[in-house]
Amino acid sequence: MMANTNKLTVRSLRSGTDSKTKWYPVSIERWNEVLNCFSYDGNQILPDKDLRKNIAYNLQYLEYLEQTIKEISLSTVLTKQTYKSYIIVAIGVVESLLYFLNAATGGREKSFFDTLKRLRTTAFSRTDKHLYDDLQRLRKLRNKVHLYEFRDDLTTDYVSFGDEEFSQMRKTFYKLVKIKTLGLPKDMLDSFGFLKRTLQPK
């Protein structure tokens, strides 16, 4: 049984374990509706139901991570590691959306780097230039999923993941789902509202 998303603000991760008090993110059913609406030139870009479910699971996890940061007073190290998990998962969702958007526009690129480069000139408008730059920066952070690699000036996770990076990921993700090229109707944006909430860890 999924809770009404309108009641999320009065629930807590620590409020209980039964269906009346348990905290729920946006439901998988709702995310399926939202993801069904992403389109290019009138054509759906995420037609596969299993793909939509996988993206939905990850979107629920992102909302959970945000709720964790909001409610639980974590050590600095654990906060930064939570930021890292958030950014890696969020970029995975972004990469999926852009991969299929790129395919819908005739692109055949396989890597995220090449996909972004092509979309910069074919799908992103002039006003999306900063979005492209932010996505490239966050893409590099995603590479830190490989613990044995040191790239550029991205040394330890403690140094690489902070409030600024977490905030940038949230803002960039929200900007992306709003771009006209992805065709998401305005009435579907409310499900991404968690990306705009003020998070003040207690």
> What pLDDT score does 192 carry?
97
Give the residue among 131, 57, 130, 145 at the shortest CA–CA distance from 98.
Answer: 131
Across 80-94, average pLDDT: 96
Residue 160 has pLDDT above 90, yes or no: no
> Are 26 and 63 spatial neighbours (Cβ–Cβ below 8 Å)?
yes
Dihedral angle computed from the Cα positions of residues 147, 150, 156 and 160, in that order, rounded to the nearest 10 degrees: -110
Q: Predicted confidence band at 110 (pLDDT cuts at 50, 70, 90)?
A: very high
Instruction: Provide the pLDDT for residue 50.
Output: 97
Q: What is the pLDDT of residue 113?
A: 94
Q: Give the model confidence (pLDDT) of 24-79 as tens digits.
A: 899 999 999 999 999 999 999 999 999 999 999 999 999 999 999 999 899 999 99
CA distance 176 to 70: 23
pLDDT at 127: 63
Residue 9 has a pLDDT of 44
Mean pLDDT of the 162-175 span: 96
| pLDDT > 90? residue 148 | no
User: Among 11-25, 131-145, 154-168, where is mean pLDDT lowest?
Assistant: 11-25
Q: What is the pLDDT of residue 171?
A: 96
Residue type at position 146: H
The pLDDT, as a whole number, for residue 2 is 44
pLDDT of residue 60: 97
- Average pLDDT of the chain, as a whole number: 87
Which of 59-73, 85-99, 140-154, 169-183 is least confident? 140-154
Q: Does the structure show a pLDDT above 60 at 8?
A: no
pTM of the model: 0.86
Under a CB-based contact definition with an 8 Å cutoff, are residues 124 and 131 in contact?
A: yes
Whole-angstrom CA distances from 111 to 95, 99, 118, 171, 179 are: 9, 9, 11, 23, 21
Task: Give me the CATH code for the 23-195 domain, please.
Answer: 1.20.120
Task: Write down the domain spans for the chain.
Answer: 23-195
Letter string b/e over residues 149-171, b meaning 16 or more CB atoms within 10 A of that residue's CB:
eeeeeeeeeeebbeeebbebbbe
pLDDT top residue among 83 and 152 = 83
Question: What is the per-residue pLDDT for 81?
Answer: 94
